[in-house]
Amino acid sequence: MITCRECETVNNAGALFCSECGASLLELGGEVAVLDAPRAPKPPPLVGQQVGEADVPQEIILMIPLSGRRLTLPLKGSDIRIGRGVPGQDDPPEVDMTLENGAEYGVSRNHAVIRLIDQGVVLIDLDSTNGTNLNNYRLPPDLPYPIKSGDEI
């Protein structure tokens, strides 16, 4: 338990602010330790080799953990756009993150695309405001990065 220095209210251990007066419960002073968190490995660069016909996926299945939503989307013809839809929008994204509070999580209206190219399936950040992460690596905008089953976007 932590006792507030301002109002002497007893707060739960680990609390950062007093539940009664809102004062900070952190002890100031001393040194602050700076920890080097390991960086996620950079995704492999897109290689120039062709994918065989049998290796080309026909559809992609996206799992959205926040809502449990599962989307099965065809990969033929056009990009699969990820973003936030707007009411009355003529051409909403195929993966509309509005239902998952996309705005609060930093999803742009036109955030990223999943595209089938000769080398396989790639993810491209559309120069979104908050960027796109692939397996905890922030992708540079407008460059294709290969994705595979189990990747986290």
Query: pLDDT tens, 12-60?
Result: 777 777 777 777 877 644 454 555 666 666 666 665 555 444 456 678 8
Q: Alpha carbon 143 to chain centroid distance?
A: 17
One CATH from 2.60.40.60, 3.90.470.10, 2.60.40.420, 2.60.200.20 for 53-146:
2.60.200.20
Quote the pTM value.
0.64
Report yes or no: 29 and 38 within 8 Å, Cβ to Cβ: no
Percentage of the chain exceeding pLDDT 90: 23
| Of residues 69, 84, 98, the one with CA closest to residue 129 | 84
Instruction: Return the pLDDT at 39.
Output: 66
Residue 37 three-state SS: coil
Point out which residues pair with 133 in neighbouring strands: 138
Average pLDDT, the chain: 81
Strands (E), 1-153: 2-3, 10-11, 59-64, 69-74, 80-83, 95-96, 110-117, 120-125, 133-134, 137-138, 145-146
pLDDT at 141 over 90: yes
What is the domain partition of the chain in residue ranges? 1-27, 53-146
pLDDT at position 110 = 93
The mean pLDDT of 89-99, rounded to a whole number, is 90
